[in-house]
Amino acid sequence: MKPVILITGGSRGIGAATARLAAQRGYAVCLSDHRNEAAAAAVVADIEAAGGEALALPADVASESDMLHLFEEACRRLGRLTGLVNNAGVLEHHMRLDAMSLGRLQRVFATNVIGAFLCAREPVKRMSTRHDGAGGAIVNVSSMAAKLGSPNEYVDYAASKGAIDAMTISLAKEVAAEGIRVNAVRPGVIYTDIHASGGEPGRVDRVKGSVPMQRGGLPEEVARAILWLLSDEASYCTGTFIDVSGGR
């Protein structure tokens, strides 16, 4: 039986690259997406055309009812969950903190923090030996912004990813003796369309000169780090972070 992985925000960018690579490496893949069902269906079609197994389910990670349904349906259709990639996230147009509205802060933290906690809670219920599970692995997708900040652009996004780092460390220790490993990747400036959400589709090309390797990264480069952390090759790693940032 194939190992089963669930990837939130799996219709684009890092999530989509991870879904495709996971399928190539023998996982049955469930990917979720909140708004772009067509893009999610296209990723599933790519995986199936290559002989893999995948399904896409619509879900808002900030909705508890959506999360309950997502995990129940994924396990019903694919089998016992063995891995989670906690990837869904949002950012909004870049601006200083003194221009940010309460509504913006609530939207960003609802998805990036509360959503990430809900997404981590459900696999723990299913994978922990404390709940009669057989173990598994969680990889949270953080950001180099958690370490470097994002002044004048996305202070709220950076803070939300700082919360992901703290959650990764805490949860890793909480479930380490229960067969679950919890790790994270911190992508740097990566060529994905999330930058368009911030109002600057070409942001990577603008800032790549500040990267020691002098280029932006590819989603596939992040996906490879994620798949390593999920794999048995990382069997003694928990509470670990991989910075995929070109040295930034």
Q: What is the DSSP string of the chain?
A: ---EEEETTTTSHHHHHHHHHHHHTT-EEEEEESS-HHHHHHHHHHHHHTT-EEEEEE--TT-HHHHHHHHHHHHHHH-SEEEEEE----------GGG--HHHHHHHHIIIIIHHHHHHHHHHHHH-GGGT---EEEEEE--THHHH--TTT-HHHHHHHHHHHHHHHHHHHHHGGGTEEEEEEEE-SB-STHHHHTT-TTHHHHHGGGSTTSS-B-HHHHHHHHHHHHSGGGTT--S-EEEESTT-
Closest CA relative to residue 85, chosen from 153, 157, 168: 168
From the candidates 27, 154, 157, 236, give the one annotated as an active-site residue.
157
The overall average pLDDT reported for the chain is 95
- Mean predicted confidence (pLDDT) in 34-59: 95
- How high is the pLDDT of residue 9? 94
**How large a percentage of the chain has pLDDT more than 90?**
90
Give the Cα separation of 102 and 191 in Å (integer): 29
Contact call for residues 136 and 232 (beta carbons, < 8 A): no
Mean pLDDT of all residues in 152-178: 97
pLDDT of 193 reads 80
236 included as an active-site residue: no
In the predicted model, what is the mean pLDDT of residues 116-121?
97
pLDDT of residue 196: 67
In this structure, the number of other CB atoms found within 10 A of the CB of residue 119 comes to 26
Which pLDDT does position 192 carry in this prediction? 87
d(CA 201, CA 156): 19
Q: Which domains does the chain have, with CATH numbers?
A: 4-244 (3.40.50.720)
Give the pLDDT score at 203.
86
Mean per-residue pLDDT, 25-31: 98
As a whole number, mean pLDDT of residues 80-91 equals 96
C-alpha distances out from residue 27 to 3, 136, 197, Å: 5, 13, 30
pLDDT above 70 for 149: yes
Structure confidence at residue 202 (pLDDT): 83
* pLDDT computed for residue 35 by the predictor: 81
CA–CA separation, 95 and 104 (whole Å): 11
Give the tokens for residue 168.
């990764």
Q: Which residues lie below 8 Å from residue 171, measured CB to CB, with a gap of 6+?
A: 120, 124, 138, 182
Rounded to two decimals, the pTM is 0.96
The model's pLDDT over 206-228, given as tens digits with 9 standing for 90+, comes to 989 999 999 999 999 999 999 99
Strands in 136-141's sheet, in edge-to-edge order, are 53-58, 28-33, 4-7, 81-86, 136-141, 180-187, 241-244
Using the predicted structure, report yes or no on whether residue 166 has a pLDDT greater than 90: yes
Least confident of 91-95, 119-123, 175-179, 227-231: 91-95
